[in-house]
Amino acid sequence: MTIVSVTGNLLSKLLPVFLLAFCLGSCSNEQVNDNEEQVLTKLSANSTKIGISSVSASTSQSPNVSGNTLDGSTSSRWSGFGDGASITYDLGSSANLDYVKIAFYKGDSRKTKFEVWIGNSTSNLTKIKSKTSAGSTSDFETFDLPNTNARYIRVIGKGYILNSGGSTTFWNSITKFEAWGSGGSVVVPPTGGDYPADVLGINSNTWKINSFTGSPGLSATYYDDITDASGISYNTYSDDNYFNTDGEWVFFKCYRGLGGSANSQNPRVELREMNNGNLASWSGDSGTHTMEWTVQVNQLPQDTDGDGGVLCFGQIHGPSTNSDGVEVDDVVRVQFIGDENQSSGSVSLKISGYVTEKQGGSQTFSGYSLDTTYNCKLVYSGGYIELYMNGSSVFRKEMEVDDLSENYFKVGNYLQSVKGASYTGSYGLVRIKNLSVNHN
């Protein structure tokens, strides 16, 4: 009896050790299936939000498209029907993933079933989580991930069950999504810190801010001067949807399908040159007029026809009609052109505007890339337009009109080829720093 008692006590003490050793030896690298989950790590206090380069879905219920999950609002969503309907997030480059935050549509009355797959190629993803949401909140829920390096995150929907019971309904709806960890290629501006006006060194005497209020979509309202919007101060204006900063760069984000100015109807988030608080206006045939800025273009939008993407990040604007009756309008536009919704890789530099389109046709130059820093200088002197990229002149052409007056610089994010397009969540993203203008 004593021996049996001692043996029983020993077994009761050693059994947890044996189980732990077994799990460490055989469970730590096991992939998730429908009945098992990989052993997860604790959430790191040092994780930051990882920028998302682009998002796509296997199916969408219009107007509930994939881009809606990145607008930070629970009033818009992606919805896709079917067991296996999926939404895929591209981080731009590999990042170390710690956890994801997902908000589900009607998440306080539904339990949503889903899987998380990750990898560095969309054709070779691995399932690392199978989960059901809590059904207790319509805001973010946090789901821990194994600390794994990956570029793509795919959420595969498996439908939902009402909290009140019933069978599975195969609608899948996400309102917000965030990835947390470290790395990735798209910088997400942190909360707080300097304001965009501080970082660029601008004020209402030197530049006017053209931007939007409201969430991207039908509720967005365009202002030719954002300070015309109620409650907005120039020096502290920052909006994560359109115009913000990480303390080094200022981010200009503009969505296809939003409204624009009365003259063009093309959406833009940009700066318009001012002179002592008045609209700047100078002549291109006297003096030398120079704008310099450092730029990265991180995302191209989808154009009106859906067959490409083009974005203007700097220009010289002229009069709609000069004193000789010539429709000058855009003197020159500096653009990148590539594929629709492109977020990495090679693009072409495109020079458009009156100086090319009315004088021989737009010109394009290869050898440029998204997510690459360029130091730009745009000069108008003696009737000639000249563009320098990283210190080298890449374009120079004379304006062949007599009246070269009423010009001004613009810089930022102008979606020039989306007039009349519907809102789909597609957007362009530009970051700028080191902005300066000189008139000599």
pLDDT tens for residues 371-416?
A: 999 999 999 999 999 999 999 999 999 998 888 999 999 999 999 7
The stretch 133-159 carries a mean pLDDT of 94
| Closest to 407 in 3D by CA, of 380, 384, 425 | 380
Burial code of 236-275, b = ≥16 C-beta within 10 A, e = fewer?
Answer: ebbbebbbbbeeebbbbbbbbbbebeeeeebbbbbbbbbe
d(CA 291, CA 248): 19
How many C-beta atoms lie closer than 10 Å to residue 19's C-beta?
10
| Closest to 371 in 3D by CA, of 342, 351, 392, 394 | 342
Residue 24 — left, alpha, or beta (φ > 0 → left; ψ -120 to 50 → alpha)? alpha
pLDDT at 262: 61
pLDDT at 379: 96
pLDDT at 207: 96
Q: Is the pLDDT of residue 151 over 80?
A: yes
Q: Which residue has the higher pLDDT, 271 or 195?
A: 271
The stretch 164-169 carries a mean pLDDT of 93
Q: Which residue has the higher pLDDT, 189 or 4?
A: 189
The percent of residues above 70 in pLDDT, for the chain, comes to 86
Q: Is the pLDDT of residue 3 over 80?
A: no
Cα angle for residues 31, 35, 40 (degrees, 5° grid): 50
pLDDT at 210: 96
Q: Which residue has the higher pLDDT, 420 or 209?
A: 209
Confidence of residue 256 (pLDDT cuts 50, 70, 90): confident
Confidence of residue 23 (pLDDT cuts 50, 70, 90): very low
pLDDT at 185: 63
pLDDT at 381: 95
d(CA 241, CA 415): 16
Q: Is the pLDDT of residue 70 over 90?
A: no
Q: Is the pLDDT of residue 53 over 50?
A: yes
Q: What is the largest CA-CA distance in the chain?
A: 114
Q: What is the pTM of this model?
A: 0.58
Which one of 61-75, 265-279, 297-311 scores highest in mean pLDDT? 265-279
Q: Is the pLDDT of residue 289 over 50?
A: yes
The stretch 63-90 carries a mean pLDDT of 90
pLDDT at 122: 87
Strand partners, 315: 333, 410
Q: Is the pLDDT of residue 267 over 80?
A: yes
Phi, psi of 256 (to 5 degrees): -60, 140
d(CA 269, CA 392): 28
pLDDT at 1: 32
Strand partners, 54: 90
Mean pLDDT score across all residues of the chain? 85
Q: Is the pLDDT of residue 7 over 80?
A: no
pLDDT at 56: 86
